[in-house]
Amino acid sequence: MRIVVVEDNISVAKGIRYYLQDMGHAVDVLHDGAEADAFLRGDGADLVVLDINLPEMDGLNVLREMRARGDNRPVLLLTARAETEDKITGLDAGADDYLSKPFEMAEFGARIRALSRRVSERPAQTASLGALRFDQTARMVAGPDGPLDIPRREVALFERLLLAEGRIVSKQVLLDSLYGTGADVDEPVVEVYVSRLRKRLQPYGVQIIVKRGLGYLMQAAV
């Protein structure tokens, strides 16, 4: 599952990212509300972890904007505010759950698992390319003979390229999909994952094309 974490405390954000990645999730990390608002308007992540106290635009307004445009992805609010009235305000704004800081990671993980079940209960959204089908809810790639055994980072790469619908995706955007925004990883690692994924897709009529200096695009083989 892909999760967006919006948290301005760098150390807290890193701890959450590592914990979620250990659970097997792909994670994007953002540090201010305006950036998060813009990112969430075009991103296809499954779940959002959202701090309330953010620079530029607070988390409640980010959440209200999501709900106003019909974005119903589950949202877990994080905040140092523990008053009942603040919790009610967050839930009324459209949050699915609420966790006060400081919190134990075990409890955080339990809340994420509960929200994940809501994601898995949504009707499956599928997309096709060549002989492949992609289940966006389960994040599973399948061929004519059933599901393919593809590592999760390569699935994240496949998903980002597929959702671009034949448009070029830069190395930096792909890197963010693989490791999360702001991760201390260099762009050349993208080339390794692209090479591996390209070999897996070739038998199914799908090709990944490099555009020098621009990025990559994915399309059905002609």
Q: How many residues does the chain have?
A: 222
- Is residue 27 within 8 Å of 52, Cβ to Cβ? no
Average the pLDDT over 131-145 and give the result: 85
- Can you give the pLDDT at residue 158? 92
159-177 mean pLDDT: 85
Q: What is the pLDDT of residue 139?
A: 74
Check residue 7 and give its pLDDT. 95
Residue 8 has pLDDT above 90, yes or no: yes
Per-residue model confidence (pLDDT) at position 137: 66
Pick from 121, 108, 98, 127: nearest CA to 46: 121
Domains of the chain: 2-121 (3.40.50.2300), 126-220 (1.10.10.10)
Question: In this predicted structure, what is the pLDDT of residue 2?
Answer: 83
Q: Which helix (DSSP H) or strand (DSSP E) does residue 140 occupy?
A: strand 140-143
pLDDT at 131: 93
Distance between terminal CA atoms of the chain? 31
| pLDDT score, position 217 | 95
pLDDT tens digits, 11-37: 999 999 999 988 888 888 999 999 999
